[in-house]
Amino acid sequence: MVIKAWKMFPEEFCIKGYPQYPNADISKYVTKLFKNNMLKGSFYNYVITDKGKEYAEGIASDNIIEKGKQTYSSSRQIDTEIRRIRGSKVFQLFLKGETEFVESDFFDFIGTSSRSLNDSNKTAFTSKYNLIFKEVLPFCEKNKEKDQEAEKIIQLTKILIQKFGDLIHRIEAVL
């Protein structure tokens, strides 16, 4: 089941950062479907129940918006990070029309402090930076047409990249 789910949906069921490998945690989700009476059968003959069909149809209808465009679902980690960005001081200032930012605003956007760059292995900064630039921003890019705040996050990012491009290049050279 793990391999089949991964082959059908490799981006959703891979080990984070390693799309060529399936995530073995898929079996936990399948077990949960059994416990919630959405699947029945044995390990080789799964059958979706009526309750499971209703649930799947609900998910499918949630993923369709007005013009027939499909939304893109995100991981809990991306959702949490987007909520953090939306609540950040720098984002709130941007929504009020502010476009002049200082370095601490850039780090507020990333969700860390400039001190995190001084750590010996820089893992705190690196993980936040990679999450923002490799996962959150691509997700916002995919959803910008249906989510105005996703578009605003992209606009703010462009301003921050333009203003702090030299800092970003120095950071990327160290990472």
Q: What is the pLDDT of residues 41-84, one digit of tens each?
A: 776 677 888 888 887 777 666 544 443 444 455 677 888 899 89
pLDDT for the residue numbered 78: 86
- Domain-located, residue 69: no
Q: What is the 3-state secondary structure (H, E, C) of 120-155?
A: CCCHHHHHHHHHHHHHHHHHHHHHCCCCHHHHHHHH
Residue 28 shares a structural domain with residue 84: no
Domain of residue 12 covers: 2-62
Out of 14-18, 80-84, 106-110, 111-115, which region has the weakest mean confidence (pLDDT)?
A: 14-18
User: Coil, strand, or helix at residue 47?
Assistant: strand
- Domain-located, residue 113: yes
pTM: predicted TM-score of the whole model, two decimal places: 0.56
For residue 30, pLDDT over 90 is answered with no
Average pLDDT, the chain: 80
Helix or strand run (H / E) with residue 106: helix 103-110
40 close to 15: Cβ distance less than 8 angstroms: no
pLDDT for the residue numbered 16: 76
Q: What is the tally of structural domains in the chain?
A: 2
- Domain-located, residue 141: yes
Mean pLDDT within 159-170: 86
